[in-house]
Structure 1
Amino acid sequence: MKEKIRDTATQLFLERGFKSITMDDIANEIGMSKKTIYNEYSNKTELIEDCVMHKFCGLSDGIDLIIAMDKNPIEELYEIKRYVLSHLNDEKTSPQFQLMKYYPKIYKNLKNLHFNKMQKCVMSNVERGLEQEIYRDNLNAEFIARIYYSGMNSIKDQNLFPLDKFPVSKLMDAFLEYHLRGIVTPKGKTILNTIINSNQE
């Protein structure tokens, strides 16, 4: 029962935002009484925290599986981007910013987890790219990881990048290409161009 509530609530929160969705909305969507939900969760904040952490852990596990496939680092970043996009509904209502505004403690915890995960993944990606000579040999892996994290967060700001001008999937593609073109070697550039061309076909 708890899993059904969490999965339904997560879907609704991602589609319409954390503030917009009420416990009544969730109960109606599942076809159960609100009292049943309160048997599992004492309040909406507790439910949101469970949804957010479960979603993060699921995405984190999926990213780990992609990394374990041992693709070349450039292809790996594109695979991770596709995977994350497919599980976040394009963030149409910018749930991250609603979370930041209305549930700051949950947001802060999620942000720390996200930062640590991305640092680890990107630093590993850069180090493997250096070993394979597809990234420039003068890179500082920690700097690249931090600037990548900063950029990924910036492009989610819909005041800077309004959805009508910058659809999420195209924006992420543009950012990823921008990031990679700054760090690849000629060998890496060939791989990058092949991936970009295949994505456009």
Structure 2
Amino acid sequence: MDQQERIVSKAHELFMRYGIRSVSMDEIASNLGISKKTIYQFFTDKDALVEAVVNMELSGSEDDCIKYIENSENPVHEFFMALDMIRDMLRLMNPMLIYDMQKYHPSAFQKLNCYQNEFVYNQIESNLSRGVAEELYRADINVPILARFRLVSVFALFNPDMFPTGKHTLDDIIREITMNFLYGIVTPKGQKLLNKYNQQREKQIQHDEKGK
């Protein structure tokens, strides 16, 4: 890993843990054991570093999405694999990170928006279309509208005004949103799979909690 990659990797780690606003360039340099001047050799300012971190995160997220789609058993199972991926991410992520990005680093936030509105939307739309074709989702659903609704509802959980920090965990919120979304669109055939995967996931969560 070269120096620039080390800087991006450490900044990513610190931003995920503490949020963006609360982490200074001095703190990033100190954690790396380098001078702040060295960071500025690669990044003109914090905005540029935040954008580099976002690019790295989105690239990794896109690869993960493609993997879980390829490894899923069916469209319903794909939702549960996505839930697990989001759950793992939320464990490492400060809930203020998205808010900080939107308020203080609009260019980086625009990159995130483009990723959501293009890549993520297309994956959701594809899932819904395949679910209808496989008779797991109702044939009468409006795929484009529900794909957009799903996209908006997922990313709304990072809005501190809508879901104040501390009242509910982000994992509880995304699970509640997802389960109600799925129960609203599945056929009886799809509901059997939904119940099966939900029971499996609950057992796994209980097992994980006992292991802590």
Query: Normalised by the shorter chain, which TM-score bucket?
Result: over 0.9
Q: What amino acid is aligned across from residue 195 of structure 2 in structure 1?
A: N
List aligned pairs for 1:83-122, cutoff 5 A. 83-89=85-91, 91-122=93-124
Quote the Cα distance in structure 2 between the aligned partners of 1:29 and 1:88: 23
User: Do the aligned partners of 1:122 and 1:145 also contact (CA within 8 Å) in 2?
Assistant: yes
User: Do the aligned partners of 1:90 and 1:168 also contact (CA within 8 Å) in 2?
Assistant: no
User: Do the aligned partners of 1:10 and 1:51 also contact (CA within 8 Å) in 2?
Assistant: yes
Query: What TM-score do the two structures reach when normalised by structure 2?
Result: 0.89
Percent of aligned positions that are identical: 28
Q: CA RMSD in A?
A: 1.4
SS in 2 for 1:42: coil
1:154 is the counterpart of 2:163:
no
Match of 1:42 among 41, 44, 50: 44
Quote the Cα distance in structure 2 between the aligned partners of 1:6 and 1:96: 17
1:21 matched to which residue of 2?
23
What is the number of residues matched between the two proteins?
Answer: 201
Indicate the larger mover: 132-141 or 151-160: 151-160
2:69 matched to which residue of 1?
67
Match of 1:176 among 170, 175, 178: 178
Q: What 5-or-longer segments of structure 2 have no aligned partner?
A: 204-212
2:206 matched to which residue of 1?
none
2:208 matched to which residue of 1?
none
- Residue 71 of structure 1 and its aligned partner are, at CA, apart by 2.1
User: Do the aligned partners of 1:118 and 1:149 also contact (CA within 8 Å) in 2?
Assistant: yes
Q: What 5-or-longer segments of structure 1 have no aligned partner?
A: none
- Residue 70 of structure 1 and its aligned partner are, at CA, apart by 4.3
Assess, with a 3 A threshold, how the Cα gap between structure 1 residues 199 and 70 changes in structure 2: closer, same or farther. closer
Q: What amino acid is aligned across from residue 114 of structure 2 in structure 1?
A: N
Quote the Cα distance in structure 2 between the aligned partners of 1:182 and 1:74: 13
Quote the Cα distance in structure 2 between the aligned partners of 1:59 and 1:193: 27
